[in-house]
Amino acid sequence: MSKKPVIDIRGLTKYYGDVVGIEDLDLKVYPGEIMGFLGPNGAGKTTTIRACLDLIQKSKGEVKIFGLDSHEDSLEIRRRTGYLPGDFGMYNDLKVKTILRYLLSQSGIIDDSRMRSLAKRFELDIDRKYGELSKGNRQKVGMVQAFMADQDLVILDEPTSGLDPLMQKKFYEFLREEKERGKTIFMSSHILAEVEEVCDRVAIIRKGHLQVVEDIHSLKDKMGKKLVVEFENSVDPDIFKIDGVKDVKIEGRWVTMIVTRNLDEVIKKLSKQNVINMSLETFSLDQLFLTYYSRGGQG
Ligand SMILES: Nc1ncnc2c1ncn2[C@@H]1O[C@H](COP(=O)(O)OP(=O)(O)OP(=O)(O)O)[C@@H](O)[C@H]1O
Ligand SMILES: [Mg+2]
C-alpha cells in the first residue's frame, strides 16, 4: 500500500517492572481499513492500545498517529480518535443521555443527532441510568460513545464483549458501513471468527510479541474450515480425496475434515450420501496457533 499509515507503530515496548507487556512491536494501520488485533488473554492488546493513545507511558519505541507523535501531540490525537476502552465504565447514577451529551460537549459538539441515531440503531435506551443497564447495554454505551463524534479513526478494545450474537452481527454491519464511509478502525479481539467476519487484515499478538500480520483472505485460505458431518451409514473415505481437503478422519458414521478450497465439490460428494447433520466451523484462536504458528517456537 502506498498510502501513508494512520497508525504507525515502531519498536513499541512496554515493561511493567519485570513483566513484559509488549516488546518491539511494529505495526501499520492504513486509511480506510479495518485492522483486527487478535490475541489470547494477556497477550498485550490493551497495553498496545493504551501506549498508542498515551494513556500509559511506553518504555521504548515510537508511535505516530495521523503523522503526529503519540506523546507530544496526544491531545490532538485524542481529539481526532474515537476510543472504546476495554474496561469502559461510567457514573452509575447518571442517565445515559446525560453522560453521552457531556462527552459530546467535551469534543465541542452540541448536535446530538448522530448519538441518538446510533443509540437507536443499537437498541440502547438513553433515558435509563447507566447503573441500571445490563452488561451488554453498558457496552453499547461505550460503542455509541466511540462513534458519536464521527472521527476518522476509531480504536476499539474488545468491542463486542458482552453483546449477544444478534447484536454482534449488527455491530459488524455497522463497522463495515463506517469503513465504506472512509473510516479507519483498529479493533482488538480474541475471537478469530469475529476478526474473520469484519476485518481486512489481522495482526496476531501472543505473549507480548507480534506473530503475524496477514490479509484476511490469505489467512482464510491457509487455514480452511473444519467440516463435521454425520452420515446415516458409514462412508468410503476415498470420496473425500479432493484437492483442498485434508486431515480427513472417520469415526463410525462421523467424518471430520479441513476444507481450504473446493467446498462446492465436497458438498456435491456429500449430496450423494444420506447426511443427518453437519457443521462448518472457523478455527478457534488456539487451534490456529497449534496448526500454523506453533512451529515458530514462541510457545
Ligand atoms: N498495570 C499492570 N501492571 C503489571 N502488569 C500488567 C499491567 N497491565 C498489564 N500487565 C501485563 O501485561 C501483559 C499484557 O496485558 P494486556 O492487558 O495488554 O493483555 P490483553 O491482550 O489486553 O489481554 P486481555 O485479552 O485479557 O484483555 C500481561 O502479562 C499482563 O499481566
Ligand atoms: Mg485487554
Secondary element (H or E) of residue 248: strand 245-251
In a shared domain, residues 97 and 73: no
Length of the chain (residues) = 299
In a shared domain, residues 162 and 247: no
- The confidence band for 299, taking pLDDT boundaries of 50, 70 and 90, is very low
Q: Name which of 294, 281, 116, 98 is nearest 211 in CA terms.
A: 294
Give the least confident one: 121-125, 140-144, 170-174, 221-225: 221-225
Q: How far apart are CA 103 and CA 219, in angstroms?
A: 38
Number of domains in the chain: 3
In a shared domain, residues 159 and 215: yes
For residue 46, give the ligand 1 atom closest to its CA: 22
Residue 43: pLDDT above 90? yes
Distance 39 CA to ligand 2 centre (A): 9
pTM of model > 0.75: yes
Distance 197 CA to ligand 1 centre (A): 26
pLDDT the model gives residue 294: 62
Measured from the Cβ of residue 125, the count of other Cβ atoms closer than 10 Å reads 14
DSSP, res 291: I
Q: Is residue 31 part of a domain?
A: yes
Average pLDDT over residues 258-286: 89
In a shared domain, residues 75 and 164: yes
Nearest CA to ligand 1 atom 29: 42
In a shared domain, residues 238 and 156: no
Distance 209 CA to ligand 2 centre (A): 15
Q: Which domain range does residue 118 map to?
A: 91-147
Q: Which neighbouring-strand residues pair with 184?
A: 153
DSSP per position, 149-194: T--SEEEEESTTTT--HHHHHHHHHHHHHHHHTT-EEEEEES-HHH
Q: Is residue 43 part of a domain?
A: yes
Ligand nearest to the CA of 14: 1
pLDDT the model gives residue 285: 73
* Residues whose CB is less than 8 angstroms from the CB of residue 255 and which lie 6 or more positions away in sequence, other chains included: 228, 229, 231, 235, 237, 240, 248, 249
pLDDT the model gives residue 298: 41
> Cα 10 to chain center, whole Å?
21
In a shared domain, residues 42 and 122: no
Give backbone dihedrals phi and psi of 58, rounded to 5 degrees, phi first.
-75, 155
Q: Is residue 24 part of a domain?
A: yes
Ligand nearest to the CA of 205: 1
pLDDT the model gives residue 292: 65
Ligand nearest to the CA of 86: 2
Measured from the Cβ of residue 274, the count of other Cβ atoms closer than 10 Å reads 12
For residue 47, give the ligand 1 atom closest to its CA: 18
Q: Rounded to the nearest 10 degrees, how much is the dihedral formed by the CA atoms of 123, 129, 135, 141? A: 50
Ligand nearest to the CA of 23: 1
Q: Is residue 294 part of a domain?
A: no
pLDDT the model gives residue 260: 87
Nearest CA to ligand 1 atom 13: 21
Distance 277 CA to ligand 2 centre (A): 37
- The confidence band for 138, taking pLDDT boundaries of 50, 70 and 90, is very high
281-297, pLDDT tens digit by residue? 887 777 777 766 665 44
Which of 147, 164, 187 finishes a domain? 147
Cell of 33: 481499513
Ion ligand 2 nearby residues (CB, 5 A): 45-46, 86
In a shared domain, residues 97 and 111: yes
Strand 275-281 with 81-84, pairing: unpaired
Distances (CA, A) of 252 to 235, 236, 249, 269: 8, 11, 10, 18
Which amino acid would we find at residue 61? G
What is the residue whose three cell numbers read 453521552?
A: 100
Distance 1 CA to ligand 2 centre (A): 29
**Among 46, 195, 207, residue to substitute to test ligand 1 (most atoms within 8 Å of Cβ):** 46
- Measured from CB, residues less than 6 Å from any atom of ligand 1 are 16, 19, 21, 39, 41-47, 86, 190
Give the least confident one: 12-21, 144-153, 218-227: 218-227
- The confidence band for 256, taking pLDDT boundaries of 50, 70 and 90, is very high
